[in-house]
Chain A
Amino acid sequence: MARHLSFTGFAWKNLRRRRLRTLLTLVGITMGIGAFVALVGFSRAFEHEWMRLYTSSGTDIAVVETNFMNTSLDESIGHQIGAVPDVAVAVPMIFNLLDLTPDVNALVYGWRADSYELDSLILLSGRRFRDGQPEVILGKNLADDLKKRSGDSLPIQGTNFTVTGVFHGGTALEEGAVIMPLDQLQTISSMQGKVTAFHVRLRPVPAGEAYDRYVKRAEAEIEAAVPGVHADPAADRAANNQLVALAHSVAWGTSSIALLIGILGIANTMAMSVFERTREIGILRALGWKGRHVILLILTEAAALGLAGGFLGIAAGWTALLVLSAMPQTASIVSASVAPLHLAESLLIAIAAGLVAGAYPAWRAARLSPVEALRYE
């Protein structure tokens, strides 16, 4: 019995013919997809961690100035926000990113000692900090990285702080963070009387009213009561804050460039392949292959390259995330978990990249005149 020849088998044999070139092309698309998996995966995980940061503490609304990073509100407006009927409690906070050692930088939060947000943390050792004192509590990951325990001293921006406790937080953003009294962070950040945002917890949702509608109404009430502020739902704040937006932009920008290089690699390979196989394409046309069969063959080869590059890229990207999540410099903001949807999306992008890259060579191959292709030397 003769060996079966399928369409995909034929495409596979063509790819195997120039193994080195196929391999180099795979490296290109693998890098593109790897960058996409790692960077976009990271930025999405980062957004997810922000979301969890709000949800774990029970924050419904974040009140900020115009933008998150440079937002600066007067601490004194807290009572105006707190006076809004649907607001149960509004707590001021400062958020910053500081170098703790030459190797370790960390997210630093300034909270009041009575902030409801402290309730979502689990103290593993020591106690909470006190307002007005140079005291901090450290997330478990950060404490491990810095090799600090309760009672140790930690210099931050020229001030010696005492580590009063080590906590387990609900998110990677907290696990790698320093939390200190609001007044202390105001002092070392030169933000006396100013805060980054107010986190608001609303009263229980009135019976018969949907949560989203309730939050929207409360936002309007806060913005009316305190002119010049933005009240955003916590979920929107997590998705739209400038750090997350920056992470998304960098991730998509870098991976788009890497993907483009991968696509150009496949396009080059397929164009070269079509060029070298001109006579063979003429033979296929002489045997009665229609233009669409030739297109299908070339696109199958290109999509197979994309698919293989997709699998390899996922492996490479995931490995990169695992490494980053284990490194002290990045552990606080990188999660090693990748959503299955992101993996599926990466594979689809890889296949689509192959198809896009193969489209023009395939179209050219299909347009070859059989007799001219057969004459080709």
Chain B
Amino acid sequence: MSSPLLEARGLVKSYDDGRIAALRGVDVRIEAGEYVTISGPSGSGKSTLLHMLGGLDLPTRGEVLFRGSPLGSAVDLDTYRSRQVGFIFQAFYLLPTLCAAENVQVAMLAMNERANHRAERAAALLEEMGLKDRMRHYPNELSAGERQRVAIARALANDPAILLADEPTGNLDTANTAHIMEILRGIREQRGMTLVIVTHEKEIASSAPRHIRIRDGRIEA
């Protein structure tokens, strides 16, 4: 049997010298091109699981394998995050001193790309997100929906294999939520990317072919 794109094996994450357990033995397999949602109550460990899958943090016990190789040992975490993963956050996390185009380029600064190529790619991605006229706008000049679209463009900057979104619509109204979800699903279909979304919204959770529910650091279904 071939290795899945991402696999979590017996993930345990505890804080405060083991007194707080965020994950208590999680096993997950995610195939290439899959669309998966993860939901659960606040503090259930869903964001922690996403951070582990994205190489932002290492588990206390267990391991995450990318194409069969463990993250943090066989796979360098920084390289994994820059080349294989695109993150989208609830609070957008755009850099306030940079305009939209520069916010997208900042993801490519660490990749030794030519400056021209970086600028061209950022422009193309923002155009794809419907932000052609907003490229030189700073985050405080953009609406919440526009900011999230800039963040999506940034996540796609290095053409990753996996898109990880942590409550991507948590700060958006209904119309923008629908728009962002349409964009994310469109990206997955057009590019064949693996899409993992952490959400507490039932509609979004149930929109995916596969839905993982997590509670008290354990997978329910």
Q: Which chain A residues have a beta carbon within 8 Å of chain B's beta carbons?
A: 1-7, 10, 13-14, 16-17, 279-280, 283-291, 293, 369-371, 374
Contacts and interface: CB of A to CB of B under 8 A. Distances in A.
Interface in B96-126: 97-99, 101-102, 104-107, 109-111, 115-116, 118-120, 122-123, 126
Given A2-B122, A3-B99, A369-B57, 7 more contacts: A1-B123, A2-B104, A5-B105, A5-B109, A16-B97, A370-B81, A371-B56
Interface in B76-104: 78-83, 85, 87, 89, 93, 95, 97-99, 101-102, 104
Contact of A2 (B78, B101, B107): B101
A171 B109 CA distance: 56
Contacts of B89: 374
B123 A283 contact: no
Contacts of B169: none
B136 interface: yes
B110 A289 contact: yes
Contacts of B81: 285-288, 370
A286 B87 contact: yes
Interface in B43-101: 51, 54, 56-57, 78-83, 85, 87, 89, 93, 95, 97-99, 101
Contacts of B101: 2-3, 5
Contact of A286 (B56, B116, B118, B123): B56
Contacts of A371: 51, 56-57
Given A2-B135, A3-B99, A279 B106 contact: no
B98 A10 contact: yes
Contacts of A280: 95
Interface residues on B, range: 35 or more
Contacts of A290: 78, 82, 110
A13 B101 CA distance: 14
A287 B56 contact: no
Contacts of A7: 109
Q: Lowest 8 CB-CB distances: which A-B pairs, in order?
A: A288-B82, A2-B101, A2-B123, A5-B105, A5-B102, A288-B81, A371-B57, A290-B78
Interface of B: 51, 54, 56-57, 78-83, 85, 87, 89, 93, 95, 97-99, 101-102, 104-107, 109-111, 115-116, 118-120, 122-123, 126, 135-136, 154, 158
Given A7-B109, A279-B93, A289 B120 contact: no
A6 B83 CA distance: 20
A289 B110 CA distance: 6
Nearest to B78: A290
B109 A283 contact: no
A28 to B, nearest CB: 23
Contact of B106 (A2, A10, A17): A10
Nearest to A277: B95
A374 B92 CA distance: 11
Nearest to B158: A288
A7 B87 CA distance: 22
Nearest to B99: A3
A14 B79 CA distance: 25
Contacts of A10: 98, 102, 106, 109
A13 B109 CA distance: 15
A287 B89 CA distance: 12
B55 to A, nearest CB: 9
Contacts of A286: 54, 56, 81, 87, 93
Contacts of A285: 56, 78, 81
B122 A370 contact: no
